A and B are shown apart, each in its own frame.
Chain A
Amino acid sequence: MPPDWELSGWITDLYGNSAFLDELMKVLASNYFAPKVVVLIGLFIWFGTRGSVHRERNQKVIVGVAVGTMLGFLIAESLCLFQDHVGDFWTRPYDNERIPQAYEAMNALYFPLSDSSFPSNAMCGLAAIAAGIGYATRRAAVVIWVLVILWALGRMYVGVHYPIDIAGGILIGCAAAFVGRKLALAFDPAVTSLLRCARRFYLA
């Protein structure tokens, strides 16, 4: 049982009180909203940055973000695999009998997940992107951090994560973004060649 299960129970307890809130949380928790919006922000930065020098700088940041995000997922997946061997640190909220409403919320708004609760892979990926994009544009990073918070709230609301899962995912994501950025800088000649190749096809 995670130490913050009561907080999770309090959040999930809001389920069923307002149809509007349930619908909103269904959208926010969904894998089809926040991740897609983040992809769109990346796409906008890639194509929409004005000026070739500035554009190349931002595109290099995006390559670093991609590396960092993959690294974050790799760490999170490794932790899940580790728990497959030693047993899960704790069950998901919807399997926690002290939070019966979490199962109802998950059943109506989400779906059961087969991997471990800690850390949140989703938060790990999105936090890596938010932290990484900050090296290119602060405004976009703020928007993505807002999405991270909304997605986190949604996932707690539908009973698939405890706050500690979210915090763990965000910490791993931020660390991965930092490493991704350093790797992109260390391998700058390779990234520059990659972008030069993309420019030949008018893609960068």
Chain B
Amino acid sequence: MVWESILLMFCISLGTVQIAASWADLKGISFFKNEIAGYVFGALLVIGSFVWFFATVKFGQGGPKGQHDDQALSVVLGGGSALLITFVLPSLMRLRSFRQPSEDGLSVDGLEALKENTLFELIRYKRSSHEKGKE
């Protein structure tokens, strides 16, 4: 049961962050170039996951409880792995077409830097500028 709960948390977190990425124009963590596709993918993932979960899991005596420990585990594992995928997948998708990070993205930090650049692009740029600084 815990695994279903973790999977539910994973899918709905992934979907929500994709919607948020489209909304806030964070291209570096978006799976899609087209923001409408991000909304549609996110909404389908969230709604579909809830429908799957409540259609397949049997509640009542002996059924899942979803109390504090279960909730915490599903948020940490499911939500955490969804965030990991969110950051890594767009980086891998743009790995082949690796380019210098955009100047706009380098003057800001945090999520704002992910508007134009992926995580790997930013890490690679930071590493190379650090090495240049050493020289």
Contact = CB atoms under 8 A, between A and B. Distances in A.
Interface of A: 26-27, 30-33, 35-36, 39-40, 43-44, 46-50, 52, 55, 106-112, 198-200, 202-204
Contacts of A49: 24
Contacts of B133: none
Given A43-B13, A44-B23, A202-B87, 10 more contacts: A31-B71, A35-B66, A36-B8, A36-B12, A40-B16, A46-B20, A48-B19, A107-B60, A199-B109, A202-B109
Contact of B114 (A36, A107, A110, A202): A202
- In the A-B complex, the 5 residue pairs with the smallest Cβ-Cβ separation, listed nearest first, are A48-B20, A31-B66, A199-B110, A47-B20, A40-B16
A30 B1 CA distance: 14
B21 A111 contact: no
Contacts of B113: 202
Given A33-B50, A36-B9, A47 B71 contact: no
Label chain A's interface by main secondary structure.
helix
Contacts of B60: 107-111
Which residue among B54, B79, B111, B112 has the maximum number of chain A CB atoms within 10 Å of its CB?
A: B111
13 contacts: A26-B54, A30-B59, A36-B8, A43-B20, A44-B16, A50-B23, A107-B61, A111-B61, A111-B65, A202-B110, A202-B119, A202-B122, A204-B110
